[in-house]
Chains A and B, each alone.
Chain A
Amino acid sequence: MAAESKLVRVEGLRKWFPLSGGFFRQSRSAIHAVDGVDFTIAAGRSLGLVGESGCGKTTTGRLLTRLDAPTAGHIYMDDPQMGAVDLALLHGKELKLFRRRVQFIFQDPYESLNPRRTVFDTVAEPLVVQGEGTLVEREERVVRLLDLVGLTPAASFLFRFPHELSGGQRQRVAIARALIIEPAFVAADEPTSMLDVSIRTGVMQLMLELAQRLGVSYLYITHDLAVARYMCQEIAVMYLGKIVERAPSEELLANPLHPYTRALLSAVPIPDPRYRRQTIEISGDVSRPIDPPPQCRFYARCPVREERCRQEEHPPLVDKGGGHMAACHRV
């Protein structure tokens, strides 16, 4: 593991959204959407970020691609082309230059494509923004990318508008747009959750294939653990702004340590009528992380909590053996 080059190293990443209100709109409270997150992604490998709505997984992805600026923390990126840099500190021109190395794929291909722009305009846009190539060169690159994402013959797609494409085709356009400037790292936010099953597998396999061919790493954001298993070598589970467990995918599914991960896994329906699933019950619902108390974020719902979990701070994410990390006093 140690010999692998770390492409992205995130340390103490935080994003607080202040709640408006109070005297002169001076806010006292904040939603701690991402609250001290650490992880690394090795070059050419992918990390699946899973969790329920509101756990901070999308915000984490937006921070890593600098669609949002973090409140605190570091995003170190060691890029063969651009050298080592802390993405969290970049502004203006430097940030724009770095956008060629990090890209984002949005969940909804019906909203992420401009309805008035043709496929060519959309896919070529990153090249235009970065000022790469002549018009002819751009067209060649767009055609090559469309071939690569399976929109063939490319010539017949170049001048179509989004409304002339199906959902699966739109998501392929979004993938082509993200990959055309050959980024090292892509955050993909539920890129297949809006697609039907028979279309979804194709898009998943395409993303895996492209990762291998182009050496891209993904931060793959999803609520679906089964999809994360197929897309990523490693899975991190988030709960209320914290990563509570992180391990190689098969290890995490076979041997979950954190009580939240266990409950989450036990609630996933299994596509086999013979399988008798045993649910691990946890009480209550996910709350919103507004000024959360310092104790373990999962304390209120935890089936194995004890006094120390209430008194001590949220436990750190530590290695419980073989690279299987968990943030829990009880394991």
Chain B
Amino acid sequence: METADTVLAVQDLTMHYKTRQGWVAAVDDISFDLRRGESLGLVGESGCGKTSIAVSLMRLLPDNARVLSGQIWLDQEELLSLSADEMLHVRWKGIAMVFQAAMNSLDPVYRVGEQIVEALQAHFPTMRVAQARERVAELFRLVGLDPRLMDRYPHEFSGGMRQRAVIAMALSCQPAVIIADEPTTALDVIVQDRILKELRAIQKQLDMGMIYISHDIAVIAEVSDRIAVMYAGRMAELAAGESIFHHPLHPYTSALMGAFPSIKGPKRELTTLPGEPPDLLHPPAGCRFHPRCPRATGVCQEQRPPLEERMPGHAVACWHPLEVRNGC
């Protein structure tokens, strides 16, 4: 899959959390790549491993987490083999992240602009304050904030403005890859819409690779070129957005689409999935979806299905995928 355009390549990534009850298999042997200027949507429910992938890529792991295997290539550099000091140079410059709770990403006792100036000076030690402030003003304009607001404190910002400021901070060192982890989940729909549009425009304009993480398949549909559907720490399906939505091959993807109400189109029955996602302390053998799957057979209980390309550019991890169509 790797091409000259590939900016990030993740290979066989496995990450576990240690808990008092044992090891939780949060990310289990995940591989994917991201092209320059491409937006990849990671969609799935709580605990499917989407945020765990993000913190592994950033190497911002909590103390109880371990990457057990895998490689993360950012351009020509393998991130997991870097020392903590070396990683400091990659983080924010090479790969940056917009976190879920904007309030927690900003220090309440410093002015918003100052925090970005500080981040800039940490990465570009020769940069003078005046230069850095100029850059912050530029970033503020880019994300649709009035540059005069840079000397305000976070509490003076509304939720939407804070999220914009956090995006400006993530963009400050011109990263090659930006990870956005549910950046609009706490926002109202009108503000969400504005921020999504701007984030997408900036990502295209700067030709960045973006990994957009959300549980909301409608948001994912709108911001992603390709979509990866996650289930219980594994990738169930990976394909172009249209292909995923119009020809889902994995029964889980199909159920997810069917369960999601929309305000457009005729009102249709919503489908329900029986059961609940598995406890990852004791994940089911074989395909992790098999206890809830209407198509499951013996093989699903025993063997893990590999993620295989079944249609051009459309990969699925399932022993009994839904109908594969030719062409289209």
Contact = CB atoms under 8 A, between A and B. Distances in A.
A277 B215 CA distance: 20
A34 interface: no
A319 interface: no
Contacts of B190: 52, 263-264, 267, 282
Interface stretch (A95-103, A121-129, A221-229): A221-229
A53 B190 CA distance: 11
| Most A-side CB within 10 Å, residue of B190, B242, B265 | B190
B219 A269 contact: yes
B182 to A, nearest CB: 13
A217 to B, nearest CB: 20
Interface in A100-140: none
B263 interface: yes
B260 A271 contact: yes
A272 B45 contact: no
A61 to B, nearest CB: 18
A229 B263 contact: yes
Contacts of B255: 198
Nearest to A301: B190
A275 B276 CA distance: 31
6 contacts: A196-B277, A198-B45, A226-B260, A269-B221, A269-B222, A273-B242
B59 to A, nearest CB: 28
Contact of A271 (B158, B160, B192, B257): B257
Given A264-B189, A274-B242, A200 B259 contact: yes
Interface string A60-89: 000000000000000000000000000000
A227 B261 CA distance: 6
A202 interface: yes
The 5 closest A-B pairs by CB, nearest first: A267-B193, A196-B45, A273-B241, A269-B218, A226-B261
| Most A-side CB within 10 Å, residue of B45, B189, B271 | B189
Contacts of A264: 189-190
B270 A204 contact: yes
A265 B217 CA distance: 17
A60 B13 CA distance: 49
| Most A-side CB within 10 Å, residue of B188, B216, B277 | B188
B245 interface: yes
A201 B270 CA distance: 7
A223 B216 CA distance: 14
A199 interface: yes
Contacts of A285: 158, 160, 191
A78 to B, nearest CB: 30
Interface in B271-292: 271-273, 276-277
Interface residues of B, number: 41
A248 interface: no
B291 to A, nearest CB: 13
B296 interface: no
A271 B276 contact: no
B267 A230 contact: yes
A198 B252 CA distance: 9
B231 to A, nearest CB: 10
B46 interface: yes
Interface string B298-310: 0000000000000
Interface residues of A, number: 39
Interface in A249-278: 250, 253, 263-265, 267-275, 277
B65 interface: no
A265 B272 contact: no
Contacts of A205: 270, 272
B197 interface: yes
B188 A270 contact: no
Contacts of B277: 196, 198
Contact of A230 (B188, B242, B264, B270): B270
B256 interface: yes
Interface in A161-179: 166, 168
B17 to A, nearest CB: 19
A286 interface: yes
B262 interface: yes
Contact of B262 (A223, A270, A274): A270
A180 B312 CA distance: 54
| Most B-side CB within 10 Å, residue of A200, A272, A285 | A272
Nearest to B48: A196
Contacts of A279: 193, 197
| Most B-side CB within 10 Å, residue of A52, A168, A226, A227 | A226
| Most A-side CB within 10 Å, residue of B158, B222, B262 | B262
A197 interface: yes
A196 B224 CA distance: 21
B9 interface: no
Contacts of B263: 225-226, 229, 253, 265, 268, 270
| Most B-side CB within 10 Å, residue of A52, A197, A200, A223 | A197
Contacts of A200: 259
A238 B255 CA distance: 32
Contact of A229 (B188, B267, B273): B267
A264 B188 CA distance: 10
A149 to B, nearest CB: 14
A63 B187 CA distance: 25
Given A201-B271, A202-B272, A279-B197, A273 B245 contact: yes
A112 B222 CA distance: 34
Contacts of B256: 197-198
